[in-house]
Amino acid sequence: MTTQSPAFVVRDAGAKFHFLNTLYTAKVNSEQTNGQFTAMEFLAPRNFGPPLHRHDAEDELFYIVDGELWLCCGDVEAIHGAGAVVWLPRGLPHTFQVRSETAKVFQLSTPGGFEHFVTALGEPTDKPGLPAPGPIDPGHVAEVCGQFDIQVLGPPPAPR
């Protein structure tokens, strides 16, 4: 028997964060799942891509809701659009880049806790759209990543 409660999250609901010039929306957090997973959605602009990095503590699964991404994980790279599912196992270096005007991606991280990383590096917002682009301090990003067992291995992909 479980002591957990179900979560029903309507479209566009959830705590929002401006995170590295994207919009992250928390859908189901690790406290709700007894640490099993975190579910978030992110909206990102054309050419957005995180630095090449490796997660040592969690696996990630992306479901591309809208738009197109170039993804690279280990020795595999591909371009995928809406409806594609991508699994990024922990321990493998990976990055991606938005190739469409914007992309919306549903992200599941397991075990849970990824929302704590987003909270530490992002800024809470009540606005539903993308933030105005601003400078990103790579040193600060790498420092916060290190606190969450994420190793920055290289720069983000060059704009295309």
Structural domains for the chain: 16-127+137-152 (2.60.120.10)
Q: How confident is the model at residue 160 (pLDDT cuts 50, 70, 90)?
A: confident
Mean pLDDT of the residues in the chain: 95
CB atoms under 10 Å from CB of 80, counted, come to 17
Q: How many C-alpha atoms does 150 have within 13 Å on its Cβ side?
A: 26
pLDDT(3) > 90:
no
Q: What is the pLDDT of residue 74?
A: 95
**Percent with pLDDT over 90 in the chain:** 93
Give the 3-state secondary structure of residue 106: strand
The residues with which 107 forms a beta bridge, in sequence order, are 40, 62
Mean pLDDT of 67-71: 98
Q: Is the pLDDT of residue 118 over 80?
A: yes
Q: How much is the average pLDDT of 15-31? A: 96
Q: What are phi and psi of 139, to 5 degrees?
A: -65, -40
The answer to whether 85 touches 59, Cβ cutoff 8 Å, is no
* pLDDT(2) > 80: no
What's the pTM value of the predicted model, to 2 decimals?
Answer: 0.94
